[in-house]
Chain A
Amino acid sequence: GESVGLHLPTLSVQEGDNSIINCAYSNSASDYFIWYKQESGKGPQFIIDIRSNMDKRQGQRVTVLLNKTVKHLSLQIAATQPGDSAVYFCAERPPHTGTASKLTFGTGTRLQVTL
């Protein structure tokens, strides 16, 4: 399993700057990807998702990029705010049949927004 907690990679960004959080996923056959934000003491919160037939998807202040060639996912946050400080997880859904489904989570990245 992946290591989190004290061993989390940390990204420190100044308020107002753009943030880019990267994730390498493991299964080249995964067909669906999600970014979650987790604040201390809370459950993961859905941010944005993307299917494997897309390269880019935009939301409000967030953009997800998918590079299937190198199995890489990134989350871009525009004009980062103090409220964006949290741990960010990417998750992939391996191939599944019917209603069976599960997510495999990557190692989280802690985003610290400095004033």
Chain B
Amino acid sequence: DSGVTQTPKHLITATGQRVTLRCSPRSGDLSVYWYQQSLDQGLQFLIQYYNGEERAKGNILERFSAQQFPDLHSELNLSSLELGDSALYFCASSGGVFTSTDTQYFGPGTRLTVL
């Protein structure tokens, strides 16, 4: 168990809908990262937040957005969903005050299926 939690575990929805994925980082970690894993694209970095502020951005679509709240949990919002958005979405955290700022620990993921 990495200490990173994600909900829900599975999500099935229809095209055009909007969903929210939630992530709670390891206790003390200040950074949260979101990744997408699909069969034909591997693990792709989406976005990073550090202590509530966006720090790095990857190949995140404009239809997707994220935020990190004062209690450090994060949400990834996916809107106008398309079939191609079906994937595993992982959250990772790092950067605790008393631990390495480098190692990212991953949660169990949310499997999104768009029908």
Contact = CB atoms under 8 A, between A and B. Distances in A.
A105 B102 contact: no
B33 A32 contact: no
Interface residues of B, number: 31
A9 interface: no
Interface string B83-96: 00000001000110
Interface of A: 1-6, 32, 34, 36, 42-46, 49, 89, 91, 93, 96, 98-105, 107-108
Interface in B31-54: 31, 33, 37, 39-45, 48, 50-51
Contacts, number: 79
B58 interface: yes
Interface of B: 2, 4, 30-31, 33, 37, 39-45, 48, 50-51, 55-56, 58, 90, 94-95, 101-109
Contact of A36 (B45, B56, B102, B106): B106
Given A99-B50, A102-B58, A42 B108 contact: yes
Given A1-B41, A5-B40, A101 B55 contact: yes
Contacts of A89: 43
A44 B43 contact: yes
Q: What DSSP secondary structure best describes chain A's contact surface? A: loop
Shortest 3 CB-CB distances between A and B: which pairs?
A5-B39, A43-B106, A1-B41
Contact of A45 (B2, B48, B95): B2
B112 to A, nearest CB: 14
Given A3-B40, A4-B39, A6-B39, A99 B107 contact: no
Given A5-B39, A5-B40, A99-B101, 19 more contacts: A2-B41, A4-B37, A4-B40, A34-B104, A36-B106, A42-B108, A42-B109, A44-B90, A46-B105, A93-B102, A98-B55, A100-B55, A100-B56, A101-B33, A101-B94, A101-B101, A102-B45, A103-B104, A107-B42
